Amino acid sequence: MRKLVLGFAAMALVLGVNAFYIWRAHPLPHSAVAPASDDPRPHPDSRTFINAPAMADLRATAVNAAPAAGRATRADLARAFLRKYHNPAGREELFRQSLRASRPEYADLAQALGLEPDEADALIELLVRQDLAREELVMQCMAEDGCRDTDLQLSLGEAQNREIADRFGPDIPDKLALYGESRPERRVVGLLRERLPDTAQLSDAKADQLIRALVEESRRIRQDLADAGEPGVDATNLGVFVAANPGDTAAASAAQSFNRRKLLVAAGVLNGPQLAALQKLFDDTMGLQPLAGQGR
């Protein structure tokens, strides 16, 4: 099963990492980048395809901007990356850039994985270096105009998981997988806690329970999507399902039903005022109708 998961991750990386380098080599103006992760408003660049990598929104923006980035081909960009990466000073610059960009995404890593702050910092640095190593592998394939075999990516991913387990504990790779999977749910629960008044605050235990409940329901929804071959449904960076095409009424209806399922699961954890605040977050993203008799 781990090989299968790594295989999907490798394929996603092959499709997306070239755009990430375009973004690095040709930074976009701030107005062209997706809104901050705590902004629940609908925005085309804040949506990520289901099962896509965490940086898919940024990569998609970079792909759209690629024609304006210059006439260089993907192979040219790959070779430029490799020249920089194989230079010690250039590699360190890439590492520092990636580390700065990654730290906000890992702000709660220590708490989520039960690590000391210095351990979490060391793990973040390792993850950034591992990401650059994966980029190097993919860029080499792009520079050579081919290389469809994913065995190298799979082997590298397995080796990197072993390195994480050896340094930080055998349970950390699985915890990291859950941490990555739960990023949208952690965002929305974090926003929920910020919006709740002191009289309706969510305890840490309840927040963790809610995150896990939402993640489990999202898994079931993704499985239902896969079984039904449902097209045109995306998820925002808050884990709210939306129609990829706003004019697709069938997809919009399916997305609304999926969001109602998540809210009904949340109703088993939250009290009325808490559920009403979560409903409002969902409303801000998709415009759901209130759940009858739930937290209103």
Any domain includes 123: yes
Convert the pLDDT of each residue in 47-98 to its tens digit.
Answer: 222 223 333 333 333 333 444 444 457 788 888 999 999 999 999 999 999 9
Q: How many domains does the chain have?
A: 2
73 and 123 fall within a common domain: yes
Any domain includes 37: no
Q: Please classify residue 169 by burial: count the beta carbons closer than 10 Å to its beta carbon, then call 0-12 exposed, 13-18 middle and 19+ buried.
A: middle
Which one of 171, 202, 223 terminates a domain? 171
Indicate the pTM of the whole model: 0.61
232 and 127 fall within a common domain: no
Q: Tell me the C-alpha distance between 272 and 2, whole Å.
A: 40
pLDDT score, position 249: 87
Q: Tell me the C-alpha distance between 49 and 30, whole Å.
A: 22
Residue 15 has pLDDT above 60, yes or no: no
Any domain includes 296: no
95 and 70 fall within a common domain: yes
Nearest to 109 by CA among 100, 122, 98: 122
**C-alpha pair distances (Å), 53 with each of 19, 50, 88, 197, 271:** 13, 9, 28, 34, 33
Q: Give 271 or 234, the one with higher predicted confidence.
A: 271
10 and 157 fall within a common domain: yes
- Lowest pLDDT segment from 125-139, 179-193, 220-234: 220-234
Q: What is the mean pLDDT of residues 275-295?
A: 68
Residues spanned by the domain of 101: 2-30+45-171
Which one of 149, 171, 193 terminates a domain? 171
pLDDT score, position 146: 59
Any domain includes 38: no
Q: Tell me the C-alpha distance between 95 and 285, whole Å.
A: 34
Q: Tell me the C-alpha distance between 229 and 208, whole Å.
A: 31
